[in-house]
Structures are given as C-alpha cells and as structure tokens.
Structure 1
Amino acid sequence: MRIVKTIFHGVGVLTLTVLAGVAIAGDDESGAKATGADTTGVDARGAGLETAPVSYHEVEREYRLDGVVEAVNRTTVSAQTQGLVEEMFYDVDDFVERGSVIARLRDTEHRARVAQAAAEMKAAVAQLEQAREEHRRVKGLYQKKTASDSEMDKAAAELKSAQARLEATQAALEQAQEQLGYTLIKAPYSGIVNERFVEVGEMVSPGKPVMTGVSLEKLRVSVDVPQSVIPAVREQGAVRVFAPDGKPVETGAITVFPFAEAGSNSFEVRVALAGDHPGLFPGMFVKTVFVTGEDTELTIPVEAVVYRSEVTGTYVVDDKGRIGFRLIRVGRRLNGSLRVLSGLTEGEQVALDPIAAGVALKDQSAARAAARSEDHG
C-alpha cells in the first residue's frame, strides 16, 4: 500500500510518494536522521543546485527568563515646608517636565517672614556702617594718643558685633527665601505622575508625600535568576532583552545582587536599557536571554528550510546528485542558521534554493516516470 502526500511549492503542485507505515521522527536533541517522509532515491542528477552541508557549530548556551521593566528614577515628592495646598497642577497619568511646579502652597506667612528678614538685614547694614565710622574715628584718635585702649577695644568689639549681626540677618533672609521657594513644589525630573496623595485645601507639613512619579528616560529590567545559573551569569556578563513584540532592546550594564532572596534562593539581576525604548513602560514583562557558556549544535542554513502550513522540511541532495524532500524539526535561530532537532545528520547536503530544488525534483520525477514507461513499452 502506498500513500500519496502533496506538498505545495511556489512553482506548482508536487506529489511525493512515501512508503506507508514510516513514522516521522520525534524530538532528537542529537539531530539524528528522521526515517519518515524521505523521497531520496529519485534516479536523476541535481546538477546546478547550490548546497550547504549540515554541520556542527559552536553556539552560545542560553538561559531564558521573564523580566520586569522598572523605572530607574521613581520618586515620591514631599512637602518641605508647612502650608495650605492652594493649587494642584497635575494628576495621575499626566506628563510633567523637569522643574515644572506640580503644587503651590499658600505663601502669605512665608512672604511676611522674608519681608521681616529683609528689614532686619537692612537695619544690620546701617548698624555696620555706623560701627565702621565709629571705629575709624576712635582709631584716628588712638593713633594721636587722645583715645584710651579701652575706647579702642570697645569700638573694635562693636564693629565685630555689627558684622556678626549682618551675617546672621543674611542667613535668616536666605532661610526665609528658601522656605518661600518651598511653597512651589517642583518636579525633580521629567516623568509621568502615577500617584497623588493630597488635594486642594489640605494642610501639609515637611515630609508629607504629595505625588509619586516615574521617569521613562531611564529604564532597567529586573530578573530573578536561579542560584544555579548565577556563576555563569557573573562570568559571561552577557544578556539579550526582547520586547513583548519580539524586537531586541539595546542593553547596558548588568548588576548582580550579592545575596539571594530568602525563600526563592534566587538572585536579582538588573539589566540597564540603553538608547531609546518606545513602547516599554514600567511593569511590563519582557524576555531575557542570558549567555551561560557554549554548546555544539547541529545547524542548517535558514534559507534551506521550507515551511508549508504545519510542515517543515528541506531538500537533501545526496552524493549522486539525487534530490529528496526531508521532513525535519528545527529549533532556535543561531546567526543565520537554525538548530536541527531531528531529520538530518552531519555532512548531508541541503539545497539553498528550495524553489529551484523543487523544480529539479519535479524534473527528476518526470524523467524517472518516462524511463519506466520506456521499460514497459
């Protein structure tokens, strides 16, 4: 009994005849040759086809884990002075530029303190000028021997006292101005508001949280890595990150925490993201691939693999030039090649142009059929 299996090619419909009862090979990590769906044996030459050998290559050993995107800069902005909240300029999910005022406190009392400190400083300046004039006058008399030592000492002491008073009033004015500035609560960096803790009309005191925001300019990925893999991660120091859509994300430095988490015995590893990363936001899951060493893998060029619905195969050319279509199983991509799980063995030649190979196989089949007709004739 024979089964006729139809494979669709870009050049038309090609019918492959396979022996019944031959099973498709299962998962074979060693890349052993599959025994099913093999049409090698057509009596013709596969001349003119460019081929490549199925061969072993040194490839990176990988360990794949899910990671979570985090914001490097995540800050809770708090009040630094006491006051009544008069205005809130942003809410949750609003984008805030660095230095923008996010809230304003009532500043009447603070302005009064600034005015008082400024007045005291003005008085201190006048007193210092008066003390200087007195010091110059007494010093002149002292040089003429008409002022006593005690008068000279008193004038010098009053000058120093006036200078100290001026410095004190200057410090008081600066402090009052600083407190006045704190009535305008500003964003420390550009980012998005994700929490708001106060409303207009509330009284806040120093340390009271006002808003929490995150910056999207600097992101990182946090991954919990099993302790068995950590030595290789430390040694290799290489990782690749892929966004949810499968696109690679540029990475920077890797930070491995020096201790394991209690309970899970896993280490937190942080991977800095470099460059622009549109579409990534804190809290999203991404795929991470850590390089943990090297392995030897049986590979086949990507262009030699044919995908037809649920069928994956390749055209094999034997040492006599005969072409056959072989069902195979492939794994991950390895720099222009695919890992061979089953269906091929090392040294076999595969056609790099599946369309041309399909045409050649069809011609071989036709030639064989014609030869049989002549024999029966």
Structure 2
Amino acid sequence: MYLIKTSAVALAISMLTLWTQAGEQLPFPVVTAVKQSVVREEKADAVVEAIQQATVSAQVSGRIIEVNVDVDDYVTKGSVIVRFRDTEQQATLKSAQARYVEAEANYNRIQDVFKRKLASKSQLDSAEANFKAARATLEQAKEQLEHTVVRAPYSGIVVERLVEVGEMASIGQGLMTGISLERLRAVADVPQRYIDKVRQLGRARVIITDGKNQSIPGVKLTFSPYADPATHTFRVRVDLPVGQEGIYPGMYTKVAFVIGEEERLLVPTSAVVHRSEVTAVYVINDQGQVSLRQIRSGHELDDGHTEVLAGLQAGEQVAADPIAAGIYLKQQGHPEL
C-alpha cells in the first residue's frame, strides 16, 4: 500500500530554534514529529487515451477531389478535411429546387381557388401533399450536397489518413481518423479486492512517470460494471482536467486510487538518517541534549515526509538537518550511537 498525506490538511511541522541546558543555541533547525491524517492508495498501471477519438466516414459515394490534411496535422472544428466531386448532387439540387418552386406555386393557386369554392378538398389535399414532398426532397438534396464537404467534428490531431485524391469512396468508408488532445483520460485495471473502496471514495490521481513525477488529480471516475474473467480486475477510466500539456494518448502512466484514510506519525524525509541497515533520527530532549535514535520507518510520502512506525513519539523534537546535528554531536565529544 502507498500512503500520501491528505491534500486538504497541511502538515503542522514548523522549524524551531532550541537552546542547550547551558544556554547555547543549537546550530541546526529542529522540527516536531506530529501525527497527521494520511490516505491509503493503491497504484495501478495505466495508459492515456483520448476521450474524443473517431474515424470520419463518407456519407456519400463519389470521387474524392480534395484532401486538405495529413497525419500529425492539427485541424480546428468545422474545417474542411475532404471534398467530393459534387456534380451529381448539384444537378439533383437544381432539379429539386425547380420541383419545389412548381409545387409551391400550384399549392398556393389551389388554396386560392379552394377559398373561392372552385376546387375540392381532395384537390387541396393533393396539392399540399405534393408541396410537402417537394420540400422534403429539396432538404434531402441540400443535405446530400453538404455531405460532399467533410468537416472536422472537433479540434484535434489527424492520426491516420485513409484516402487519396482521385479515389472513389463509398458510403461508410473511413476517410480520416483523429483525436482531440484537449480531453484525455487514464485507463487502469483495479483488482477486485479494492474496487468497492475505490467506488465508494471516488478519488484518484494520475502520476506521469516520464521523469517529471507529475501528479494530476482526476476529475471524474467511470467504472466498468463487471470484472474481466481472466484477470479479475475492473477497468476504471480517470478523466484528466481539460487542456493538459505534455501528455499524449498511448503514454504509460500510473493511477493512485484512494482506498482509505488513517493517522500516522510523520517527520521530514530529510531528517531521516540511513546507515547500513540502521534508520535513525537525531532527537533533542527537553534539556537540549542531542542523541541519534534508531527508528522503524514506513512509507516515504510524495510531499517529502516519512512515516515513523516505532522509536519516536508525537511531540518529540528531531533535527531537520541531520548532517549539522551529527557534526555538532561529534564536537561535543559524544558518539552518535
């Protein structure tokens, strides 16, 4: 289990200046070991993926006369990416417009005649039906013409170009595949023994492991309703804040899921001394006497503190600069251990 200090609570460790019994000021800063609430986390391997990723397909059949983008190009929402020859669609539209004008004129004429009781109700109904059919045909023709111009559904990066100028494309054929880098998420598999806690607490952070050691809080968790029968894990998607820079789909990362909270005794990691198999801190008693005391340490937290499991009590003073404390102890003629 990995533990990290609760972000909502600041660790109350302040630098102190202490004096010896003889009234001499200690030549190093001192901090107080305090108990603090920390959260337990379970880390899982994850992969970054784009929330918006899609292949744009042809909605008409025809010859491609224009391809405006290629792989790795950035496109804005609504920009033209592919254009089809529209000769047939233009002709269909003109024909539909002519039929619409004729049907509208006939419908208006029959209405006028019907008002003067010179036309039957069936004639009026027939003219109205023809007018509505012509209007629907016109709208369909306009839509077919619009489909000859393919536009980007959202702003993003082209990752795959599937057609070339001069090719014939049919309805449903893929033209371009693109992703948006604005909205990303990390996808991880959580072991079944932790899934209830992860669902209940609903908190996670994404850790970018590219040398920066960047930690990003997740804004939304989406859970698979069932476990993978082979791995017995639940897939969880963790949405990142919009507009993250330097993070790309396909990158390896880790997700730390919160699975609990508990109290731990903490000291700055910089105050801990490691010598062979001994872990210790320099402790200052009420009389200002310095001694090196062995402790049993726990996890090192991301915020620069270490858990103390045994060997130290809350409220005791420890040297924040163990090198300076060691030099001071030797100058006093005392062994460190």
User: What TM-score bracket applies, with the shorter chain setting the length?
Assistant: 0.7 to 0.9
Q: Amino acid of the residue matched to residue 213 of structure 2?
A: G
After TM superposition, give the deviation of residue 297 of structure 1 in Å.
3.5
Cα root mean square deviation, aligned: 3.1
Q: Amino acid of the residue matched to residue 246 of structure 2?
A: G
Matches within 5 A, 1:274-353: 274-302=241-269, 304-305=271-272, 314-318=281-285, 320-325=287-292, 331-333=299-301, 337-340=305-308, 344-346=311-313, 349-353=317-321
Residue in 1 that maps onto 2:6: none
Cα distance in 2 for residues equivalent to 1:133 and 1:322? 111
Residue in 2 that maps onto 1:230: 195
Residue 323 and residue 45 in structure 1: after superposition, are their counterparts in 2 closer, same or farther (change >3 A)?
Answer: farther
Q: What secondary structure does 2:38 align onto?
A: strand
The answer to whether structure 1 residue 202 and structure 2 residue 167 are counterparts is yes
Is the CA contact 1:63–1:289 (under 8 Å) kept in the aligned structure 2?
yes
The answer to whether structure 1 residue 116 and structure 2 residue 95 are counterparts is yes
Residue in 1 that maps onto 2:25: 48
Cα distance in 2 for residues equivalent to 1:60 and 1:136? 81
Residue in 2 that maps onto 1:33: none
The answer to whether structure 1 residue 240 and structure 2 residue 188 are counterparts is no
1:135-154, CA deviations, whole angstroms, 9 ceiling, x for partnerless residues? 344x2xxxxxxxxxxxx5x4
Cα distance in 2 for residues equivalent to 1:131 and 1:171? 20
The answer to whether structure 1 residue 215 and structure 2 residue 180 are counterparts is yes
Q: 5+ residue gaps in structure 1?
A: 1-42, 140-151, 370-377
Residue in 2 that maps onto 1:87: 66
Cα distance in 1 for residues equivalent to 2:103 and 2:228? 61
Moved more, 231-240 or 258-267: 231-240
Aligned mate of 1:125, from 104, 109, 117 = 104
Q: What secondary structure does 2:237 align onto?
A: strand
Aligned mate of 1:100, from 64, 67, 79 = 79
After TM superposition, give the deviation of residue 287 of structure 1 in Å.
1.9
Residue in 2 that maps onto 1:71: 50
Larger RCO: 1 or 2 (CA < 8 Å, sep 6+): 1
Residue in 2 that maps onto 1:164: 129
Is the CA contact 1:46–1:321 (under 8 Å) kept in the aligned structure 2?
no
Aligned mate of 1:177, from 138, 142, 152 = 142
Cα distance in 2 for residues equivalent to 1:204 and 1:261? 39
Aligned mate of 1:267, from 234, 246, 253 = 234
Is the CA contact 1:46–1:360 (under 8 Å) kept in the aligned structure 2?
no
Q: What secondary structure does 1:99 align onto?
A: coil
Cα distance in 1 for residues equivalent to 2:22 and 2:161? 76
1:347-372, CA deviations, whole angstroms, 9 ceiling, x for partnerless residues? 6531234465356335423xx79xxx
Residue in 2 that maps onto 1:25: none
Is the CA contact 1:85–1:105 (under 8 Å) kept in the aligned structure 2?
yes
After TM superposition, give the deviation of residue 55 of structure 1 in Å.
5.3
Q: What secondary structure does 2:213 align onto?
A: coil
Cα distance in 2 for residues equivalent to 1:121 and 1:95? 41
Residue 362 and residue 86 in structure 1: after superposition, are their counterparts in 2 closer, same or farther (change >3 A)?
Answer: same
1:318-343, CA deviations, whole angstroms, 9 ceiling, x for partnerless residues? 4553324567766322656312478x
Residue in 1 that maps onto 2:17: none
Residue in 2 that maps onto 1:28: none
1:89-126, CA deviations, whole angstroms, 9 ceiling, x for partnerless residues? 11111111101111000100000000000111121123
Is the CA contact 2:300–2:306 (under 8 Å) kept in the aligned structure 1?
yes
The TM-score, its normalising length taken from structure 2, stands at 0.81
Q: What secondary structure does 1:118 align onto?
A: helix
Q: Amino acid of the residue matched to residue 111 of structure 1?
A: Q
Q: 5+ residue gaps in structure 2?
A: 1-19
Matches within 5 A, 1:27-42: none
| Bigger Cα Rg | 1
Cα distance in 2 for residues equivalent to 1:161 and 1:130? 12
Cα distance in 2 for residues equivalent to 1:44 and 1:127? 112
Q: Amino acid of the residue matched to residue 238 of structure 2?
A: V
Cα distance in 1 for residues equivalent to 2:327 and 2:307? 26
The TM-score, its normalising length taken from structure 1, stands at 0.73
Residue 296 and residue 46 in structure 1: after superposition, are their counterparts in 2 closer, same or farther (change >3 A)?
Answer: farther
Is the CA contact 1:249–1:277 (under 8 Å) kept in the aligned structure 2?
no
Q: Amino acid of the residue matched to residue 56 of structure 2?
A: V
Moved more, 159-168 or 258-267: 159-168
After TM superposition, give the deviation of residue 64 of structure 1 in Å.
1.3
Is the CA contact 1:68–1:222 (under 8 Å) kept in the aligned structure 2?
yes
The answer to whether structure 1 residue 257 and structure 2 residue 212 are counterparts is no
Matched-pair identity in %: 44
Residue 135 and residue 267 in structure 1: after superposition, are their counterparts in 2 closer, same or farther (change >3 A)?
Answer: same
